[in-house]
Chain A
Amino acid sequence: MSIFLKWYEENGSEDAVVLSSTVSLARNLSGYPFSHLTNQTEREEIIQKITAAAARLDRLGLSMRTVDLQTTEDLQRMVLAEHRLASREFLRRSGGRVLLVSGDESVCLAIGGEDHLLISVTAAGLECEKTMRLAQQIDDLLEEQLTFAFQDRLGYLTASPDHLGTGMQASVMLHLFGMDRLSLTAKLANTVSKMGMQLYGVRAFGATHDYQITNRMTLGLTEEQAAMNLETIVRQIIDREMAAQSECLQGAERFEDRLYRTLGELQFARRLSLEELQAALSLLRVGICQKRISLPPRLLNTLAITAGEASILFGKGEFLSAGGREEARAELVRARLSEIELLK
């Protein structure tokens, strides 16, 4: 499982503020009702057809691992959610749902959700265009073998009319510590909603300063336009966030002291709760943005994703009490930190 470098272990552009970019395409097979009306035979046929077509993805150098939710235990599902391979909503139900996941976890085909197929591509940092292109290539390859429901006027036909057109959702995860501190995020959400986008707080990465911005427009503009619009807006948000951080830290003489104490804690602690880790990662991220500390942001991404409660348990392969998980988490964090050279 670990011969590939995962997407979150890679560097990305603007990755001090931007955690990740994801583009997903919703598709439905022509000739079948939408998922919520399919019977078991139809569900099995849909899975079989899409899985067979997905064999073509090896032309893009992608080898896909199959995860059948029917035979997946709860713990493993929680790991999948922590690794953000599928939404909790998708993972909640098991019958007729299958995930195909690439070795680096960047590409995921979710079969049998609200739409028959959701193609998702994720990359570290601000990479809307890159992820959009790869999603399109995957779609092209699948389309050689599958016929997707499509209409000239309405584009790709999706179960919910909200996604008609491109069926594409592009989203970017951001760490908005400064704007949160200055209570600017509600205003920001309002502003971006007028541009056809949605901003909301997420706890996927744990810390409370994480936000996701998503395009809402799918009809009337091309995939390229949607991806570019999102990137342009995110760049503006990054500038504002950097300014907000500087404002927050003005006169904060003890910031650097706090930063290094936090790092020391992570390096030496014997027990770490998830909340402690998340708060520490958030602070270190600000330190990186403000160039007060030299750490690769990918390290923070890796810790945020691999140190979740379920991932820790799964990694250990045995049941652990809360205290045991905290010990295992501290051990994992120490090991990861020892791999890098701390420059300052």
Chain B
Amino acid sequence: MLCEKCRQHPASVSYHQIIDGEEKWLCLCDGCAESFDLSHPFTEEFSDFSDPKQNLFRSRLSGRVADEPTKKRCPFCESHFDEITKTGRLGCEHCYEVFFGELRPTLDHLHGAGTVHKGKVPRRHTESDPSDRLMQLKERLQQAIESQAFEEAARLRDLIRLLEQASKGGEEA
């Protein structure tokens, strides 16, 4: 697909904006995306009583247009990555792990490459090691099987599999 601004170069970035509930889509090439002024706040649309999240925070490059559309789904909420780029919202907490590779360029763009959380940590948060988390999930899987909640169990099984793959991939890289 060609860039919707210059109509010369192939589009590589999708720009998604929601203003007052109305969605706008733009697919741009790298050059146009660079020069596209995403931060100018003084348009009519922005001067309204605004929820900054509604108007501005989502007005970002919401995701690279994938070269090959991925068929992967989050086993917990069943979101597709395409749906995430379309709405600018992830489906659930697990999407961050499941689609971490796909999200990475956007996260780097939004927050700076390699930036990690430095703020508050919940007191009851114990997951310092990803393997702890896997253990917890495996326990939940066991409970689900025991209580014959098979749908839940299948989801958890897929999630564990994906997380294990992701952590292996991380080690290799």
Contacts and interface: CB of A to CB of B under 8 A. Distances in A.
B93 A169 contact: no
Contact of B39 (A37, A171, A198, A222): A198
Contact of A143 (B93, B103, B123): B123
Given A114-B53, A162-B53, A223 B41 contact: no
Given A33-B77, A148-B122, A164-B107, A199 B41 contact: yes
Interface string A167-193: 011010000000000000110011001
A283 B49 CA distance: 21
B90 A161 contact: yes
Contact of B128 (A87, A152, A160): A152
What's the dominant secondary structure at chain A's contact region?
Answer: mixed
Which of the four size classes fits the interface of chain A?
35 or more
A200 B76 contact: no
Contacts of B21: 89, 92
A207 to B, nearest CB: 12
B118 A221 contact: yes
A214 interface: yes
B71 interface: no
B60 interface: yes
Interface in A82-123: 87-90, 92, 114
A189 B39 CA distance: 9
B151 to A, nearest CB: 14
A199 B55 CA distance: 12
Given A200-B47, A220-B111, A151 B53 contact: no
Interface residues of B, number: 50
B68 to A, nearest CB: 22
Contacts of A144: 123-124
A99 B49 CA distance: 19
B138 to A, nearest CB: 16
B168 interface: no
Given A157-B93, A201-B46, A150 B121 contact: yes
Nearest to B89: A159
B110 interface: yes
Contacts of A214: 52, 56
A118 B47 CA distance: 23
A216 B51 CA distance: 13
Interface in B103-145: 103, 106-107, 110-112, 115-125, 127-128
Contact of A160 (B53, B92, B93, B122): B53
19 contacts: A32-B92, A34-B91, A90-B51, A140-B123, A148-B122, A151-B97, A151-B127, A152-B116, A160-B58, A166-B119, A168-B119, A185-B42, A189-B42, A198-B52, A198-B56, A201-B42, A201-B47, A204-B49, A221-B119
What are the 4 closest A-B residue pairs judged by CB atoms, nearest first?
A: A155-B117, A87-B51, A200-B41, A149-B93
Interface of B: 21, 39-42, 46-58, 60, 76-77, 79, 87-93, 96-97, 103, 106-107, 110-112, 115-125, 127-128
